[in-house]
Amino acid sequence: MSNAPLMLSVSGCRGIVGASLSPSVAAGFAAAFGSFVVSRHKGKSKSRPIVVVGRDGRPGGTMVRDAAIAGLTGAGCDVVDIDIAMTPTVGVMVDHLSAAGGMVFTASHNPQQWNGLKCLIRDTDAKKSAVSAAAPDKATADQIINIYKSNSATLAQWDNIGVVCHSAGDATKIHCKKVDAVVNALKARAAIKKAKFKIVLDCVNGAGATIAPAYLRSLGCTVEVHGDEPGQPFPHTPEPLAENLTSLSKAVKKSKAAVGFAQDPDADRLALVDENGRFIGEEYTLVLATRALFELGGVKKNSSTAVNMSTSRMIDDLCASFGARSLRSAVGEANVVEVMKKNKCIIGGEGNGGVIYPAITYIRDSLGAMALVLALMARSKKSLSQLVSEIPSYAIVKQKVELARKEDANPACAKIAAAYRDQSVNTIDGVRIDWSTYGEQNGRAPQPSGGAAWLHVRASNTEPIMRLIAEAPTPDLAQRILSDAAAVIAG
């Protein structure tokens, strides 16, 4: 989709390099963010606000970085550049330095012709070095977008232009130290070392290669790394889905590894492959990480977790079994974090493999997720396939429909809401329909029968597409829901 528009959302700014994402766009959006940060910082300190930046390693990223740094410093922000770094590492450093914010130059799982600018904001009332940095909420994101669209960024005078310093090595050490603290708190370090896990890790030539292999080896694991050359083209389509990870699955089986880990380019998502080479997927990542925390760390009754509207109900089942609550938000890391902070959730995330553990950072973090999964495997002395078999499973089927504009999804959502109005309808984010038990046809739209299920239809925040997601007890039922939904939308 070479003519894809510039995507502006709570996830920041994304576009095609050389088309919708030009140097002037990168500089302009960064200046808008910098201007917002400076205005927010006024009166709190005499020094300039600090913004930590990093990039995911995709080719062409240096152009986006350099243009964005010009925009940030031009707005009056000092910049700490940690170079190629995982998105959560940038978040960790924002907190560590008590910086005003962060910016990551990444398009996450999008193809390599894409890039983007992801904003991170630290609470103004956060204590020094406290965990706080997160993607901005919708209201804040809208302010930044409005500054950009109206070309109203306030630029610094000649004697207050920001300066840039470079610090990469410390960032990885600090992130690893925070993950180590979690492993130690769960009393899992000795068990992981004793297990001597063999791991196949696919970093997809992304930022994860700068930290994950070394950290896993520090836990006594033997690591076979694929895609460990940041800056080189992605060896396969970067989204960590089954169809893109066939090589990883084969490598796990061939090497008789205990687990396969797959990161996306900015390493905030984690997908799993079990010891048999079977793609477990991203939905299980959060469930297993949460189980590790509940089972090994202990959980107080009525503790809360938060997930988005498109996340599998497996997390609801797990929480119920431990007497915990599972709360729902609109899709998007910022929306999940907003619910987490409001309800003091102990863990949260999304079904795309994104685990958010506030003990480390309020950013989705594949390194922390790996540590939690390994801790559970080691302490339980169970294989990944055994752990997965103990989780009541559902089938999720997903479909994408290309859009010219994000707003083009609205009529489809309205049709779905009307067709299934006798069911549980949630319009927080697009439209989600929940069935506690399938009934017969109601004369307006076909309804499958067979058990609890849900359908979610929404416009993507990061790509010009509409997503249709259905979950049911079996793949056939989930597919039938999508087929019925497609018929409703087409009608």
Give, in order, the Cα–Cα distances in Å from 178 to each of 73, 270, 487: 29, 18, 49
DSSP state of 17: B
Question: pLDDT tens-digit profile of 193-236?
Answer: 999 999 999 999 999 999 999 999 999 999 999 999 999 999 99
Q: Let me know whether 400 and 378 are in one domain.
A: no
Q: Which two tokens stand for residue 185?
A: 């708190």
Largest CA distance in the chain: 72
For residue 418, give both structure tokens.
């009307």
Q: Are residues 374 and 433 in the same domain?
A: no
Q: Are residues 118 and 31 in the same domain?
A: yes
* Same domain membership, residue 144 and residue 11: yes
Q: Decide if 145 contacts 36 (C-beta within 8 A).
A: no
> For residues 477 and 483, what is the distance between their CA atoms, to the nearest angstrom?
10
For residue 187, tell me if it sits in a domain. yes
Query: Residue 351 burial by CB count (10 A; 0-12/13-18/19+): exposed, middle or buried?
Result: buried
Q: Are residues 234 and 273 in the same domain?
A: yes
Report yes or no: 55 and 104 within 8 Å, Cβ to Cβ. yes
Looking at residue 310, its pLDDT comes to 93
CATH number at residue 118: 3.40.120.10
Q: How far does Cα 244 stand from its chain's mean position?
A: 18
Residues 295, 377 within the same domain: yes
| pLDDT score for 441 | 43
What is the Cα 333 distance to its own chain's centre? 6
Residue 60, Ramachandran bin (φ over 0: left; ψ between -120 and 50: alpha; else beta): left
| pLDDT in the model for residue 451 | 62
Query: Do strands 279-281 and 304-308 pair parallel, antiparallel, or not at all (unpaired)?
Result: unpaired
Measure the CA–CA gap between 393 and 193, rounded to whole angstroms.
Answer: 30
β-partners of residue 16 are 114
Note if 483 is an active site residue: no
3-state secondary structure of 57: coil
Which residue, among 477, 458, 132, 446, has the nearest Cα to 311 in the 3D structure?
458
Residue where a domain stops, chosen among 147, 167, 187: 167
Going 314 to 318 to 321 to 326, the CA torsion angle's sign is: negative
469 close to 397: Cβ distance less than 8 angstroms? yes
Beta-strand runs (E) in 2-73: 7-9, 12-16, 50-55
**Mean pLDDT (the chain, rounded):** 92
Q: Name 17's bridge partners.
A: 21
**395, amino acid identity:** A
Same domain, 127 and 68: yes
Answer yes or no: are the C-beta atoms of 421 and 442 closer than 8 Å: no
Contact 152, 344 (CB under 8 A): no
| Amino acid 440: pLDDT | 42
One domain for residues 195 and 209 = yes
List the domain range (segments joined by +) for residue 195. 174-277
Residues in CB range of 109: below 8 A, 6 or more apart: 238, 239, 240, 264, 265, 269
Q: What distance in Å separates the CA atoms of residue 321 and residue 112, rounded to the nearest whole number?
A: 41
- Find out whether 59 and 112 touch, Cβ atoms under 8 Å: yes
* 342 and 292 in a common domain: yes
Q: By the 8 A CB rule, do 64 and 55 touch?
A: yes
Are 160 and 80 part of one and the same domain? yes
Asked if residues 329 and 310 have their Cβ atoms less than 8 Å apart, the reply is no
pTM of structure: 0.92
Residue 368 lies in a domain: yes
In a domain? residue 250: yes
Last residue of a domain, one of 229, 255, 277: 277
Contact 316, 274 (CB under 8 A): no
- For residue 1, being part of any structural domain is answered with no
DSSP-derived 3-state class of residue 403: coil
Query: For residue 254, what are the contacts with CB-CB under 8 A and spacing of at least 6?
Result: none
**Do 290 and 265 belong together in one domain?**
no
Residue in the block written with tokens 């003091």:
344
On whether the CB atoms of residues 354 and 269 are closer than 8 A, the answer is yes
Catalytic residue among 9, 11, 35, 108: 108
Is residue 439 domain-resident?
yes
Residue with tokens 């310093």: 165
Domain boundary among 372, 389, 406: 389
What is the DSSP annotation of 367-400?
HHHHHHHHHHHHHHT--HHHHHHTSPP-EEEEEE
Please give the chain's pLDDT, 491 residues, in tens: 456 789 998 889 999 999 999 999 999 999 999 999 999 998 788 899 999 999 999 988 999 999 999 999 999 999 999 999 999 999 999 999 999 999 999 999 999 999 999 999 998 777 876 889 999 998 999 999 999 999 999 999 999 999 999 986 799 999 999 999 999 999 999 999 999 999 999 999 999 999 999 999 999 999 999 999 999 999 999 999 999 999 999 999 999 999 999 999 999 999 999 999 999 989 999 999 999 999 998 777 789 999 999 999 999 999 999 999 999 999 989 999 999 999 999 999 999 999 999 999 999 999 999 999 999 999 999 999 999 999 988 999 999 888 877 788 899 999 999 999 999 999 999 999 998 765 444 444 444 444 689 999 998 877 788 899 999 988 988 999 999 998 999 87
What confidence score (pLDDT) does residue 446 get? 47
CB 42 within 8 A of CB 49: no
Q: What pLDDT score does 168 carry?
A: 66
| Distance of alpha carbon 392 from the chain centroid | 24
Query: pLDDT per residue over 59-93, tens digit each?
Result: 889 999 999 999 999 999 999 999 999 999 999 99
Task: Report how many domains make up the chain.
Answer: 4
Token pair for 372: 């939690």
Helix axes 410-419, 475-490, angle to 10 degrees: 110
